[in-house]
Amino acid sequence: MTPTATLGHFRAEAADNKKKKPMQNMTPQNLRTPGPTPIPHDIVDAMSSPMINHRGPEFDTLIKKTTEQLKQVFMTKNDLMVLTSSGTGSLEASVVNTLSPGDRVLAATAGAFGDRFVDLAEAFGADVKRMDFEWGGPIDPDAIRKALNDDPGIKAVLVTHNETSTGVTHPLEEIAKIAKGEFDKLLLVDAVSSLGCIPLPVDAWDCDMVGTASQKGFMIPPGLAFISISERAWEAQQTAKMPRFYFDLAEAKKALEIGQTPYTPNLSAFFGLSLALDKLLEEGMENVFGRHASVAQYTRDSVEELGLELLVADQAYASDTVTAVKMPKNVDGKAFMGKMRTEQNIVLAGGQGKMSADIFRIGHLGYVVKEDISEVITALKKVLPEVGFKP
Ligand SMILES: Cc1ncc(COP(=O)(O)O)c(C=O)c1O
């Protein structure tokens, strides 16, 4: 399928999707949160298929097919496991399968999800050297190099590829070159809001563990997490002493060999995943990345044309999956977002953590085309003056 045909196909489907009510008695919405994201109708239909035996031959076929397809999306030959959990489960799996209590780790953060990775590692007893960077800006790879130079005891580097709370894509390739190429540390990556939308070639960048979630770029609901595991990470797994049970990846690997998962999988989400992966690979990952990049650029340009200010000053780091916009000074954020939802049926996301009141965010990932965003822009033009915005 050519890129244009693919986008045309997406457009027609997206328009159709707008007619769908999220719940009984609810008006159809243009869901612009950075996850969960809208789902194509045929995927919704696939997910309503009857249950199958998760220890039977049909599931064996399903898990093996989807795992191989996921490896293509991750651009990896490493092992890859599908977990029944939200994205945080994959991040917990990355930590508890490679580290022991007291292990020194470097965690770089510039937002709410970077902070959560720190909290997670600390909860399991890691000795975290936390590096804070300004929210709205990128992690500085040189600072990572310096920290690793200064502290040779560090075993692993934890990093968020795309910081959803600020709309920043961190320079993971450069960070990986340093953490892996120069210092040979374990590299654990939160790719929850980037994988499948923004290029992250896991093998080319030598990332040891990369975790992501179904409700972001994969056009299916929350409920599945995906994690890739390098040889090096499996070696670390042999000696890692952090407590683990549900997220013990050695159990997941053993089960996968016989076409199963250790515990009952989210079968409905698996049905959706299978079709979603067919669609993504049919569109072609380069085209999928290109679609995200062009929709994101259109979002940023249009928002600026309205006289609004983007949070991310250096556009080189602006995310292709979510755009953070500064809340205009004299605008009541709650009233503005409430009006967008109730009068325009557009659901935006607010800020998170210390930026709760300072920004609003427009999600543009997964099942998204330019028309979804032009609707947002038209609605912003109408609603913003009504809540006191003067450019
Ligand atoms: C970058 C990032 N990391 C982690 C998470 C947590 O994922 P989940 O809520 O699926 O556990 C999210 C969710 O928004 C995210 O965007």
How do the pLDDT tens digits run along the chain, 391 residues long?
444 445 555 666 666 666 677 777 777 899 999 999 999 999 999 999 999 999 999 999 999 999 999 999 999 999 999 999 999 999 999 999 999 999 999 999 999 999 999 999 999 999 999 999 999 999 999 999 999 999 999 999 999 999 999 999 999 999 999 999 999 999 999 999 999 999 999 999 999 999 999 999 999 999 999 999 999 999 999 999 999 999 999 999 999 999 999 999 999 999 999 999 999 999 999 999 999 999 999 999 999 999 999 999 999 999 999 999 999 999 999 999 999 999 999 999 999 999 999 999 999 999 999 999 999 999 999 999 999 999 8
User: Does 389 reside within a domain?
Assistant: no
Give the type of residue at 4.
T
Q: Indicate whether 301 and 346 sit together in one domain.
A: yes
**For position 82, which CATH number holds?**
3.40.640.10
Residue nearest to atom 8 of ligand 1 (CA): 87
Q: Indicate whether 317 and 185 sit together in one domain.
A: no
Closest ligand 1 atom to 88 CA: 11
State whether the beta carbon of 36 lies less than 6 angstroms from ligand 1.
no
Q: Indicate whether 32 and 61 sit together in one domain.
A: no
CA 114 – ligand 1 centroid, Å: 10
Of the three residues 241, 262, 280, the one that is the final residue of a domain is 280
**For position 15, which CATH number holds?**
3.90.1150.10
User: Does 68 reside within a domain?
Assistant: yes
State whether the beta carbon of 86 lies less than 6 angstroms from ligand 1.
yes
Please state the pTM of the whole predicted model. 0.96
How many structural domains are present in the chain?
2
**Strand locations in 41-90, DSSP E?**
79-83
User: Does 107 reside within a domain?
Assistant: yes
Parent domain of 345: 3-41+283-383
Closest ligand 1 atom to 165 CA: 16
User: Does 390 reside within a domain?
Assistant: no
Closest ligand 1 atom to 162 CA: 1
CA 73 – ligand 1 centroid, Å: 19
User: Does 388 reside within a domain?
Assistant: no
Q: Indicate whether 304 and 376 sit together in one domain.
A: yes
Q: Indicate whether 321 and 292 sit together in one domain.
A: yes
State whether the beta carbon of 88 lies less than 6 angstroms from ligand 1.
yes
Q: Indicate whether 235 and 358 sit together in one domain.
A: no
Q: Indicate whether 236 and 263 sit together in one domain.
A: yes
Of the three residues 246, 280, 314, the one that is the final residue of a domain is 280
N-terminal to C-terminal alpha carbon distance within the chain? 43
CA 193 – ligand 1 centroid, Å: 7
CA 84 – ligand 1 centroid, Å: 14
State whether the beta carbon of 166 lies less than 6 angstroms from ligand 1.
no
Count Cβ neighbours within 10 Å for each residue of 278-287 and write b for 16 or more, e otherwise: ebbeebebeb
Q: Indicate whether 288 and 373 sit together in one domain.
A: yes
CA 88 – ligand 1 centroid, Å: 6
